[in-house]
Structure 1
C-alpha cells in the first residue's frame, strides 16, 4: 500500500470525487486552477463562481492535508482556504456577483457593442451596481497584472 492509498482511505467521504463530472471545471483545462499569478487565479475563480459543485469542491479541499493543498479549489485560493481553516473571515461573493464574474466575456462584448449597462445588468438578472463593481474589480485586476 502506498502513502497515497493510505491518505485516500483516511479522508472523509466528502473528498470522494463523485461530483467532479458535474462541476464547471470539468469543461476546462485543469492546469488553469494551478497556474501561478493573479490573472490565472482570477480566471479560475470565475469558473468556480457559477459552479453548482463549489461547496462540495471546497469541502473536499478543506479535507486535504495542508501540505498537499494548492491551487484554486471551491472558488478559493490557498491563502483564502488557510484563513478559513483558522476561522478568519474570507470574502464572500454573492450569487449575483458570481453570475457576473462568470460572464466577463459576455459583459465586455455587450458593453463594447454599445449596450447600456442597465440593459446588460437586466440580461444577467443583476443590478447595475453589481455590474459596475465587477467591472471595477476586473479593471483593478488587469492593472495589477500589467504592472
Structure 2
C-alpha cells in the first residue's frame, strides 16, 4: 500500500512538471522610467507550448500593493489603456507583453525599483497553475533632455 502511495505521488509530481513546462516566459523585465515611480509595467513573451488555450487571470508581486493586467486599445485614432479581466494565450502560440499591446502593471510599488535588481512575480492561470518568475528591473530614461541628447548622438 505504501508503495502504491509513493508511486501515485511520483506520477502526480511528474504530471505537474509536464504541465508547468507548457508555459514558458521569455525575457521578462520590469521597466522604470524615473526614480520613485509609484507604478511600473512588466513586459515579456509568454509562450504556450500546449495544445490547449491557456488563460492568465492575474499576477501578484511582493514589489507592489496591487498588480493588474492591461490591454492597449485604439479608439478613433487614439490609443488608451484599459484593465483586462484576463489574457488568453492560444495553444501553440505566444502572447507578447509590450508597451504597444498588453502588459502587467505593478501598482503601489512598496519601494523604489533599482537597476540590476530583481522582483518576484507570480502568474496565476485559470486552471489553478501558478508560475513564479524572477524578473530583472530595467531603467529607461525618458525625460526630454536625455531624449534630445540621445537623438543628437
Q: TM-score, normalised by structure 2?
A: 0.24
Larger strand percent? 2
> Higher relative CO (CA 8 A, sep ≥ 6), structure 1 or 2?
2
Which structure: larger Rg? 2
Q: TM-score, normalised by structure 1?
A: 0.25
